[in-house]
Amino acid sequence: MTLHVKVISPEASLYEGDATSVVAPAYDGQVGILTNHAPMMTLLGKGELRIDATKFTIEGGFLQVVNNQVRVVTERGKTL
């Protein structure tokens, strides 16, 4: 089983695809997401977003997890 991940910024859709893990910079520390994670929503800070081996830098926004779907909406983001 995998996670379906979308990363969106005001400028563009940065990523959409399946992954086994997501690590994101929440406003108060790193948060890790694996398959079958409980539903959650958190504010994002500034730092590195990792989707499996793909890396992005992001600033602000939020992350939502529901039914193995992860949505990251960020104020600014770019691929590393």
Q: What is the band of 49 on the pLDDT scale with cuts at 50, 70, 90?
A: very high
Fold classification of 3-79 is ATP Synthase; domain 1 (2.60.15)
Helix (H) or strand (E) holding 71: strand 69-73
Which residue bears the tokens 């695809």?
Answer: 17
> What are the sequence ranges of the domains in the chain?
3-79
Q: Please give the Cα distance from 1 to 28 (Å, whole number).
A: 29
Residues with Cβ < 8 Å from 25, sequence gap 6 or more? Answer: 44, 45, 46, 47, 48, 49, 58
Q: Please give the Cα distance from 25 to 52 (Å, whole number).
A: 15
Supply the pLDDT for residue 36: 97
Q: What is the band of 50 on the pLDDT scale with cuts at 50, 70, 90?
A: very high
What confidence tens digit (pLDDT) does each residue in 17-27 have?
Answer: 999 999 999 99
